[in-house]
């Protein structure tokens, strides 16, 4: 019953989306507007993940209809992984997306590997990609520098990202600054495919929003990360109130007692102010004025309280969803049933353009000159 309700509701929203795009010749045509994004199932998300990306999707769902959001489990295989952990993380990520406020009636949530058209299109795009172009991507350089034996998947996964986008003819892709070059590759491959095979797939455009760039609590010069060697530097949405309070109290600031927002000269306390602003919606100027006369130690208690107030209901919903795995599987299956026909329609056109898309039901015989 749930699957049928979600399917009918989401199909109505995705089929009626239109946007206007202007081309270089100043002509204007109507194209389906489709927003696509993906997130790796890497376990519990931290506060930086949530405030920097996921919460933007929650806001977008109120402004746009039929957003397609993929849990990109195939991208989690570029480095060695534990199959049992990956399975658990897929459900954990689904629970997280629902807990933060994404509504399956408004956003299509599905598991990437359940739609085989992604990998099929990946192969076609890899045949027009070059090793020289992929080797220049900064994330490959960064990750491969730490490895003795470099997995092929680590080298080619940006092509799979392009396939993820092109499979749904996405016109807009929310991305962080660190993924801009990968989106540029997707744009290049789409243009190349259109030019070489005379197709008319839309060129995806980046959607960059003003996100809160939360830094590590223990090293405010670097972004908050799970790989931080100091575990106190990262706040997870599943952390208890006691854990969050303890981590914020231990946050690195400086020897100046006054609360200020000066990211260049006082990154530690500025990070706390930014975090405070992000979870409350208060302007930074208001926060600074309200904190006049407080020491940074006193101010940390306020920040901890606000972060806890914001994350507590999310944490509660997260565990409620995890306690009902069948509901999570239903959400993913509903999403798969919606996006598969869209991806298959794209692949039919791609196969035909490549010369391999024969219609076996066509009664007209092919004429072959020998």
* Residues 6 or more apart whose Cβ sits within 8 Å of residue 189: 125, 128, 129, 159, 162, 166
Structure tokens at 130: 């070059």
Query: 């489709």: which residue's tokens?
Result: 34
Name 236's bridge partners. Answer: 46
Q: How far is CA 118 from CA 155, 165, 286, 351, in A?
A: 17, 9, 47, 13
Of these residues, 105, 223, 232, 352, which one is catalytic? 223
CA distance 129 to 127: 6
CA 334-338-344 angle, to 5 degrees, is 135
Q: How far is CA 292 from CA 112, 204, 260, 285, 287, in A?
A: 49, 46, 9, 11, 9
Of these residues, 226, 232, 249, 317, which one is catalytic? 226
CA distance 117 to 345: 10
Of these residues, 143, 213, 232, 317, which one is catalytic? 143
CA 141-207-277 angle, to 5 degrees, is 95
Is 363 part of the annotated catalytic residue set? Answer: no
* Residues 6 or more apart whose Cβ sits within 8 Å of residue 157: 75, 78
Q: What are phi and psi of 153, to 5 degrees?
A: -60, -35
CA distance 37 to 48: 18
The helix (run of H) or strand (run of E) holding residue 38 is strand 36-39
CA distance 172 to 103: 20
Is 250 part of the annotated catalytic residue set? Answer: no
Is 223 part of the annotated catalytic residue set? Answer: yes
Active-site annotation, residues: 143, 223, 226
């Amino acid at each position: 019953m749930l699957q049928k309700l979600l399917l009918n509701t989401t199909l109505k929203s995705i089929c009626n989306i239109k946007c206007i795009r202007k081309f270089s010749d100043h002509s204007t045509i109507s194209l389906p507007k489709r927003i696509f994004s993906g997130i790796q199932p890497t376990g519990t998300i931290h506060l930086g993940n949530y405030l920097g990306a996921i919460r933007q999707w929650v806001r977008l769902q109120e402004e746009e209809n039929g957003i397609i959001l993929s849990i990109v489990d195939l991208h989690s295989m570029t480095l060695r992984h534990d199959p049992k952990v990956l399975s658990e993380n897929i459900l954990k990520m689904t629970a997280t997306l629902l807990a933060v406020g994404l509504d399956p009636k408004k956003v299509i949530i599905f598991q990437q590997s359940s739609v085989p058209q992604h990998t099929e299109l990946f192969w076609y795009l890899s045949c027009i990609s070059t090793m020289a172009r992929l080797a220049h991507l900064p994330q490959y350089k960064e990750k491969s520098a730490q490895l003795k034996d470099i997995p092929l998947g680590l080298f080619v996964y940006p092509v799979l990202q392009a396939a993820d986008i092109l499979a749904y003819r996405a016109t807009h892709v929310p991305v962080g600054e660190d993924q801009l070059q990968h989106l540029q590759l997707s744009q290049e491959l789409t243009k190349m495919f259109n030019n070489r095979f005379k197709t008319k797939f839309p060129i995806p455009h980046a959607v960059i929003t003003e996100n809160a760039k939360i830094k590590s609590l223990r090293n405010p010069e670097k972004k908050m990360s799970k790989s931080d060697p100091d575990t106190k530097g990262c706040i997870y949405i599943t952390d208890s109130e006691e854990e969050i309070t303890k981590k914020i109290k231990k946050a690195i600031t400086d020897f100046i007692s006054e609360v200020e927002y000066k990211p260049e000269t006082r990154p530690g306390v500025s990070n706390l102010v930014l975090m405070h602003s992000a979870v409350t919606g208060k302007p930074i100027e208001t926060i600074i004025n309200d904190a006049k006369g407080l020491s940074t130690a006193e101010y940390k208690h306020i920040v901890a309280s606000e972060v806890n107030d914001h994350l507590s209901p999310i944490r509660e919903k997260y565990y409620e969803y995890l306690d009902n795995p069948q509901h999570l599987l239903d959400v993913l299956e509903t999403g798969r049933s919606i996006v598969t026909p869209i991806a298959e329609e794209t692949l039919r056109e791609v196969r035909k353009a490549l010369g391999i898309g024969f219609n076996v039901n066509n009664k007209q015989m092919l004429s072959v000159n020998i």
